[in-house]
Amino acid sequence: MHVVAPLDSKSVDNPPKAAVRDLRRVDIHPNHWYPLAWSREVKRGKTHAVRFAGEPIVLARTESGKVIALEDRCAHRQVPLSGGVVDGEAIRCGYHGWTYDCSGKCIDVPYLGRERLPNGVRAYPCREAEGLIFVFPGDAALAETMPLPPLGSVADKAYKTRRFGREVACHYSFMHENLMDMNHQFLHRKQMGKMRARSLGRRRGDDWVEVDYTFAREAGQQPIGEALVFGQSRKSERADHKDVMTIRTQYPFQTLRIRTSDGTIVMDLWICYVPLDREQRTNRTFGLLSIKRPKIGALLDVAWPLLVWFTERIFKEDRWIVELEQAAHDAQGADWNHEVFPVINDLRDLLRECGAPAARRVIPIEPSAESVAV
Amino acid sequence: MHVVAPLDSKSVDNPPKAAVRDLRRVDIHPNHWYPLAWSREVKRGKTHAVRFAGEPIVLARTESGKVIALEDRCAHRQVPLSGGVVDGEAIRCGYHGWTYDCSGKCIDVPYLGRERLPNGVRAYPCREAEGLIFVFPGDAALAETMPLPPLGSVADKAYKTRRFGREVACHYSFMHENLMDMNHQFLHRKQMGKMRARSLGRRRGDDWVEVDYTFAREAGQQPIGEALVFGQSRKSERADHKDVMTIRTQYPFQTLRIRTSDGTIVMDLWICYVPLDREQRTNRTFGLLSIKRPKIGALLDVAWPLLVWFTERIFKEDRWIVELEQAAHDAQGADWNHEVFPVINDLRDLLRECGAPAARRVIPIEPSAESVAV
Amino acid sequence: MHVVAPLDSKSVDNPPKAAVRDLRRVDIHPNHWYPLAWSREVKRGKTHAVRFAGEPIVLARTESGKVIALEDRCAHRQVPLSGGVVDGEAIRCGYHGWTYDCSGKCIDVPYLGRERLPNGVRAYPCREAEGLIFVFPGDAALAETMPLPPLGSVADKAYKTRRFGREVACHYSFMHENLMDMNHQFLHRKQMGKMRARSLGRRRGDDWVEVDYTFAREAGQQPIGEALVFGQSRKSERADHKDVMTIRTQYPFQTLRIRTSDGTIVMDLWICYVPLDREQRTNRTFGLLSIKRPKIGALLDVAWPLLVWFTERIFKEDRWIVELEQAAHDAQGADWNHEVFPVINDLRDLLRECGAPAARRVIPIEPSAESVAV
């Protein structure tokens, strides 16, 4: 696909900045709800180890079915609590049996009296919605004031949703830029054929940026996989599509919607890229891809395996290229990108502005408290 | 097993110290005899490469059957002598054939006259006992004054001994603490069932600390594997055992003994943790587990495979947890342990006091001696 | 083989130098033609990724059959152009389709007008000869003044040539020293038997050093593989060979020739060690081994598989030992070699003097040029 120069680009773009922060070293802001696991991964009575930006977190579904999230380190010997066992509504460390409730409080050390229990571990606000387990890794006092993000059309029976994702070895910003820049469809030429994208304009707010596209086929047959996602072209091969694709980064999440001329959303993607390591050079992607059911609902079910295959192929190519971008950044030691597309430069500014402050990276040192009296 | 508050704990424990050395960065003291290989690993006429705290050492059994230990670097091109060949009572480097005797002296360079032979390599004092090859990696002048450690009951025909061990990716101090703290039997709950440990008291000297325990079963059947090691419980399931377990760190070695009420040692474990890498974050464990033969000696032989399986399972669980401790230390960059058990805090002090001085870690730089005349 | 003290060694050798550069940290000089691939590896219409001392380079054979060499980074998002496609005489990046010609100029960005094309990428002088693709990685202005190196007897029909090589995990200097020091034949004792080498003298120029050897068999039968390479011994087993072997480093290349008493070259080896990583601790070896065809030419073809096997065995042993040398250097952090053979000390001086200046290693930082107007 090719993008025609956007309609609103008469405005002068920002001049090159002297000392901007290296976007690939901007940490994601922790004061949001992040999906850290699929609900099905956290089974009743079991623990499940996850990470957020290098912080080890244990999720556990207690006997009552509630999911809790604690720092994944026993206060005693620092071993992961995820190696322990769920005991009623609590987690018991697998080494010496120290036990923590859902608030992180230590409620039992088998060989100490109850009156002299040591301090516990950090607990994280935790919620479950639409098959995802969300954790608030930042300032817990803000969690209540912050709603869970809307998850597209996943709750609407008129849509069928595919849940997908995988670990990708790159900074989350490469993921945002990859999805928002439709010029990269050259990468998917085997799946998508030759398409011409037209940018209809971009919009920006304090914590979001979005862009609209329409598409025209330049040559060749429309691949069947694409027809499933984008809808079949209705007149001739050379006619412009009337469908409009809107891609939006609503920090820190991203959505992609395709609307027909009558305003119906035929495809609704919600996606989030969660940093795994402290350097935030890897992320785990959680995606919800909702497709509007056609009048004969079974058609979509029949075509579903093909749609899965098609999106997996696209996702695999995207993963390949963004991991090469990260590798180039690592080799060059800085961000050498020469971005020429204004939408993407807006997006880059947004990700820098909404990210965590630069001073956040501190290696915590806690003096070892020796010889606590028994 | 649970440990009841020790009888001697009325004394006030040490207050937390301000600036103690990080125990996980204390190097083991080199002025002791350390087992670096099993005798069966060093075959006649063959070399065998080992390491002590990052120092490469070649062991070789010469044609006369004697074992020698040299620095595992040819003085010429620095390649390992363990890649060479045993030649009579000497080792010949596999690259250009430089040859060293048991004292490390260079006795032949095939293309140089005997009168102009270069300097040799370092030799280590080396002894063989009870199927172990011991090396003295510290100040060789002290080796003669230091006896080999007593090796438990391994030489006593009344006992049958299992030799075991493996590489474990942690600092040796985690191994000492793991064995000495019997509260960690929660880790072995599948093998050991629910036991209640009672600490009878601890003792300490300049270079040793020891603790006694008795045990009582809290619930469930005694597993058959445990019966083999700890002896079968004689009366009812709920009766306290009269056997006493004594665990001792006699720096740098560790022992665990179980005595019956008549003073008979029924189990006698000797164990040593030898650091492999320079950072001492991995160790190779050498263990000698001696079990008193019952009156009908064949019974033990019949049960032996079960005992092997049982101890391997226990050892595997211990390895899993101490490697998690090391990983937590690496991630946290410091020792965050909150130890509450006085015996272990004594042990930690001992390991710090008996360890190598802090200034020991120096990367050796030797100028290259160019152009020695031929 | 043993080397007798060289005839010209009455001269006093250089005394040890105080502060010489660590040879293993001397970068190879970039102002030479280096082979970066075999011709057969670069197929028509395909890209091929290579490296020179950490610099990523894409080779491509265009539709006309010409080979071009560009920096392997798209100017846009820095991803490797080797992941893209050959388009006529140009390379198109696989991500957004930016296109570069053989001079590195950007000639198309599908979604930008031709009048506003961004800067391109670096191009390297590139030539093809005798099945090798040579690139000039240094100052391109010097490339025309510098001829391709002579490649031994590869172009002479009277010889049959074996092309060989592999990646070796060591600094290129270890490779030069390994080949030039014939005393190392102890390493190949299984293939070569017991030979006595006699150094007939060494010579040195500004950018070359060479040494002559003759050989005498000390004991045992001549292995058949060796007979193929060195020629069959003509009289008795104990008679000195009259053949002379000359090994020469003509910076940065190396040759080894065996001449019979009538001056015929029976074996002619040309070899080059190309650093792959920025630290130059790995190299890719490109070798051309030319053997004079005997009068009955088919004999050589019949014996060829044996010769391949023989040289592979020798090469494998050499690779094993030089990688151990590099590992020792890494562990010791400096060059501890005690070289006693004057030829090798000459060679070491040469490699230091002809190598890149010490200040060359700089990590390039280029500010990211944000927001170029579309």
Question: C145-178, pLDDT tens digit by residue?
Answer: 999 999 989 999 999 999 999 999 999 999 999 9
B174: left (phi over 0), alpha (psi -120 to 50) or beta: alpha
User: Tens digit of pLDDT for each residue in C49-74?
Assistant: 999 999 999 999 999 999 999 999 99
Three-state secondary structure call for residue B229: helix
Three-state secondary structure call for residue C153: coil
Per 3-state DSSP, chain B is made up of helix, strand and coil in percentages (nearest 5) of: 25, 30, 45
- Residue A12 pLDDT exceeds 50: no
Instruction: Give burial (CB, 10 Å; 0-12/13-18/19+) of B192.
Output: buried
Number of domains in chain B: 2
Complete DSSP assignment for B191-219? HH-EEEEEEEEEEE-SSEEEEEEEEEEEE
Residue B221: what pLDDT? 64
CB B51 within 8 A of CB B57: yes
Amino acid of residue A331:
A
Chain B contact for C329 (CB, 8 A cutoff): yes
Partner-chain contact B95 C184, CB within 8 Å: yes
Closest chain B residue to C342, measured at CA? B371
Chain A contact for B63 (CB, 8 A cutoff): no
Amino acid of residue A370:
E
- Residue B372 pLDDT exceeds 50: no
Query: What is the arithmetic mean of pLDDT over B193-207?
Result: 88
Interface size A-B, in CB pairs within 8 Å, comes to 106
User: Tens digit of pLDDT for each residue in A36-72?
Assistant: 999 999 999 999 999 999 999 999 999 999 999 999 9
Is residue B31 in a domain? no
CB C63 within 8 A of CB C47: no
Task: Show the domain range for A172.
Answer: 3-16+149-357
C93 and C65 in a single domain? The answer is yes
Chain A contact for B337 (CB, 8 A cutoff): yes
| C-alpha span between C263 and A43 (Å, rounded) | 82
Q: Cα B209 to the chain's mean position, in Å?
A: 16
C173 and C282 in a single domain? The answer is yes
Chain A contact for C56 (CB, 8 A cutoff): yes
Chain C contact for B53 (CB, 8 A cutoff): no
Chain A contact for C115 (CB, 8 A cutoff): no
Residue A97: what pLDDT? 95
User: Tens digit of pLDDT for each residue in A289-306?
Assistant: 999 998 887 888 888 888
**Side-by-side strand order, sheet with B90-92:** B85-87, B90-92, B99-100, B106-108
Q: What angle do CA A237, A182, A132 make, to 5 degrees?
A: 110
Chain A contact for C83 (CB, 8 A cutoff): yes
Partner-chain contact B183 A83, CB within 8 Å: no
Partner-chain contact B187 A80, CB within 8 Å: no
Residues of B in contact with A363 (CB under 8 A): 333
A97 to chain B, closest Cα gap in Å: 6
B84 and B231 in a single domain? The answer is no
Is residue B48 in a domain? yes
Q: Lowest mean pLDDT of A65-79, A126-140, A335-349, B2-16, name the range.
A: B2-16
User: Tens digit of pLDDT for each residue in C298-342?
Assistant: 888 888 888 898 889 999 999 999 999 999 999 999 999 999 999
Instruction: Give burial (CB, 10 Å; 0-12/13-18/19+) of B64.
Output: exposed
End-of-domain residue from the set C93, C126, C145: C145
A118 and A153 in a single domain? The answer is no
Beta strands in chain C (DSSP E): 3-4, 34-38, 47-52, 55-61, 67-71, 85-87, 90-92, 99-100, 106-108, 123-124, 126-129, 132-135, 159-164, 167-168, 194-204, 208-219, 244-250, 253-259, 265-275, 283-292
Chain B contact for A48 (CB, 8 A cutoff): no
- Residue A370 pLDDT exceeds 70: no
Who wins on pLDDT, C90 or C228?
Answer: C90
Q: Which residues contact C207 (CB under 8 A, 6 or more apart)?
A: C250, C251, C350, C354
* Phi (first) and psi of residue B146, to 5 degrees: -110, 115
* Phi (first) and psi of residue B47, to 5 degrees: -95, 165
A114 to chain B, closest Cα gap in Å: 13
- Residue B190 pLDDT exceeds 70: yes
Query: Please, which chains are in contact with B (at least 3 CB pairs closer than 8 A)?
Result: A, C
CA A244, A245, A247, A253 torsion: positive or negative? positive
E strand or H helix at B35: strand B34-38
CATH of the domain at B81: 2.102.10.10
A117 and A153 in a single domain? The answer is no
Selected for mutation to probe chain A from B20, B183, B204 (highest A CB count within 10 Å) is B183
Is residue C362 in a domain? no
Who wins on pLDDT, C89 or C6?
Answer: C89
The partner residues of C372 in beta bridges, in order of sequence, read: none
Chain B contact for C17 (CB, 8 A cutoff): yes
C314 to chain B, closest Cα gap in Å: 13
Residues of A in contact with C92 (CB under 8 A): 186
| C-alpha span between C262 and C243 (Å, rounded) | 9
- Residue C262 pLDDT exceeds 50: yes
End-of-domain residue from the set C145, C168, C187: C145
Name the residue among A6, A183, A333 with its Cβ closest to that of C365.
A333
Query: Please, which chains are in contact with C (at least 3 CB pairs closer than 8 A)?
Result: A, B
A188 and A54 in a single domain? The answer is no
User: Tens digit of pLDDT for each residue in A156-199?
Assistant: 999 999 999 999 999 999 999 999 999 998 999 888 777 778 88
Amino acid of residue C221:
Q
Q: What angle do CA B332, B336, B337 make, to 5 degrees?
A: 135
User: Tens digit of pLDDT for each residue in B23-41?
Assistant: 999 999 999 999 999 999 9
Q: What angle do CA A172, A208, A35 make, to 5 degrees?
A: 45
- CA-nearest of B306, B371, B278, B314 to B166 is B314
- Residue B360 pLDDT exceeds 50: no
- CA-nearest of B102, B80, B99 to B89 is B102
DSSP structure class, residue C334: S
- Is the bond into A223 cis (omega within 30 degrees of 0)? no
A50 and A172 in a single domain? The answer is no
Chain A contact for B18 (CB, 8 A cutoff): yes
- Residue A335 pLDDT exceeds 70: yes
User: Tens digit of pLDDT for each residue in B288-340?
Assistant: 999 999 888 788 888 888 888 888 999 999 999 999 999 999 999 999 999 99
DSSP structure class, residue C44: B
Contact map slice: B 142-181 vs A, CB within 8 A: 181
Q: How much is the CA Rg of chain C, to the nearest whole Å?
A: 24
A50 and A192 in a single domain? The answer is no
Is residue B37 in a domain? no
Who wins on pLDDT, C2 or B8?
Answer: C2
Complete DSSP assignment for B335-358? -------HHHHHHHHHHHHHS--G
CATH of the domain at C183: 3.90.380.10
| C-alpha span between C79 and C82 (Å, rounded) | 9
Q: Lowest mean pLDDT of A19-33, A156-170, A179-193, C234-248, name the range.
A: C234-248
Q: Quick one: angle between helices C172-180 and C298-332, nearest 10?
A: 120
Per 3-state DSSP, chain A is made up of helix, strand and coil in percentages (nearest 5) of: 25, 30, 45
Residue A140: what pLDDT? 96
Is residue B177 in a domain? yes
Task: State chain A's mean pLDDT as an integer.
Answer: 87
| C-alpha span between C174 and B78 (Å, rounded) | 12
A78: left (phi over 0), alpha (psi -120 to 50) or beta: left
Partner-chain contact B2 A371, CB within 8 Å: no
Partner-chain contact A366 B332, CB within 8 Å: yes
Partner-chain contact B78 C337, CB within 8 Å: yes
pLDDT bin (cut points 50, 70, 90) of residue C371 is very low
User: Tens digit of pLDDT for each residue in A78-111?
Assistant: 999 999 999 999 999 999 999 999 999 999 998 8
Residues of C in contact with A18 (CB under 8 A): 367
Partner-chain contact A5 C73, CB within 8 Å: no
Per 3-state DSSP, chain C is made up of helix, strand and coil in percentages (nearest 5) of: 25, 30, 45
Partner-chain contact C96 A186, CB within 8 Å: yes
Closest chain B residue to A278, measured at CA? B331
Name the residue among B336, B341, B345 with its Cβ closest to that of A78.
B336
Chain A contact for C277 (CB, 8 A cutoff): no
Tokens of A52: 């957020």
Query: What is the arithmetic mean of pLDDT over A189-211?
Result: 89
Q: How many CB atoms lie within 10 A of CB A240?
A: 13
Selected for mutation to probe chain C from A189, A340, A348, A349 (highest C CB count within 10 Å) is A340
Query: What is the arithmetic mean of pLDDT over C89-93?
Result: 97
Selected for mutation to probe chain A from C93, C99, C371 (highest A CB count within 10 Å) is C371
Task: State chain B's mean pLDDT as an integer.
Answer: 87
C163 to chain B, closest Cα gap in Å: 26
Chain B contact for C338 (CB, 8 A cutoff): yes
Query: What is the arithmetic mean of pLDDT over C15-40?
Result: 87
Partner-chain contact B110 C186, CB within 8 Å: yes
- Residue C238 pLDDT exceeds 90: no
B224 and B313 in a single domain? The answer is yes
Is residue B32 in a domain? no
pLDDT bin (cut points 50, 70, 90) of residue A307 is confident
- Mapping DSSP onto H, E and C, the string for A204-248 reads ECCCEEEEEEEEEEEECCCCHHHHHHHCCCCCCCCCCCCCEEEEE
Closest chain A residue to B328, measured at CA? A78
Tokens of C355: 């190598």
Query: What is the arithmetic mean of pLDDT over B96-108?
Result: 96
pLDDT bin (cut points 50, 70, 90) of residue C296 is confident
Is residue B73 in a domain? yes
Partner-chain contact A370 B332, CB within 8 Å: no
B97 and B184 in a single domain? The answer is no
**Percentage of chain B surpassing pLDDT 70?**
84
Q: Quick one: angle between helices A342-354 and A172-180, nearest 10?
A: 150
Complete DSSP assignment for A275-336? E-STT---EEEEEEEEEE--SSTHHHHHHHHHHHHHHHHHHHHHHHHHHHHHHHHHHHSS--
For chain C, how many helices (H) and strands (E)?
A: 5, 20
**Side-by-side strand order, sheet with B34-38:** B34-38, B132-135, B126-129
User: Tens digit of pLDDT for each residue in B225-241?
Assistant: 566 655 554 444 444 45
Query: What is the arithmetic mean of pLDDT over C126-143?
Result: 97
pLDDT bin (cut points 50, 70, 90) of residue C234 is very low
Q: Cα B189 to the chain's mean position, in Å?
A: 25
Q: How many CB atoms lie within 10 A of CB B358?
A: 12
Closest chain A residue to C80, measured at CA? A324
C140 and C251 in a single domain? The answer is no
Residue B18: what pLDDT? 47
Amino acid of residue A59:
L
Partner-chain contact B112 C340, CB within 8 Å: yes
Selected for mutation to probe chain B from A78, A108, A109 (highest B CB count within 10 Å) is A78
- Is the bond into A342 cis (omega within 30 degrees of 0)? no
Residues of A in contact with B213 (CB under 8 A): none
Chain B contact for C348 (CB, 8 A cutoff): yes
**Percentage of chain A surpassing pLDDT 70?**
84
| C-alpha span between A75 and A101 (Å, rounded) | 13
- Residue C233 pLDDT exceeds 90: no
pLDDT bin (cut points 50, 70, 90) of residue A220 is low
The partner residues of C247 in beta bridges, in order of sequence, read: C211, C256
A207 and A102 in a single domain? The answer is no
Tokens of C144: 């025309």
Is residue B56 in a domain? yes
